[in-house]
Amino acid sequence: DTAVSQTPKYLVTQMGNDKSIKCEQNLGHDTMYWYKQDSKKFLKIMFSYNNKELIINETVPNRFSPKSPDKAHLNLHINSLELGDSAVYFCASSLPTGETQYFGPGTRLLVL
């Protein structure tokens, strides 16, 4: 009974490619997030959606586009991948107040 799941777990791709990461939560939460964790382990929020509506949009290149088909899913599409995009991307979900966020297992993206 995985609460927050992400696919794929690993993603190795070439510069310039377009890729998507999928996230699904079965907790019934209205709010979902995407975080990026770099090699130094800093975890930084990228986006937050509440009930399919964009709430938080940090300073992220517009090559990154989140899409929420329904409130249980928040996918991340990345265009024209760059070397600096290599990181671990975590999806999370919570109640609207965000008091406890449940994180997925992460997607390890390596851009060659």
Cis ω for the linkage preceding 8 (within 30 of 0): yes
With CB under 8 A as the contact rule, the residue among 8, 96, 110, 112 that binds other proteins is 96
Is 103 an interacting residue with respect to other proteins (CB under 8 A)? yes
Q: Report the residue from 39, 41, 59, 83 that binds other proteins according to the rule CB under 8 A.
A: 41
Burial 76-98 (b: 16+ CB within 10 A, else e): bebeebeeebbbbbbbbbbeeeb
Q: Among the candidate windows 18-26, 34-42, 64-72, 73-81, which touches other proteins by CB under 8 A?
A: 34-42
Cα–Cα distance measured from residue 48 to residue 34, given in angstroms and rounded to the nearest whole number = 7
Question: Binding to other proteins by residue 100, rule CB under 8 A?
Answer: yes
Q: Residue 16 CB, nearest distance to other proteins (Å)?
A: 28
Interacting residue with other proteins among 7, 19, 22, 45 (CB under 8 A): 45
- How many whole angstroms separate alpha carbon 101 and alpha carbon 94? 5
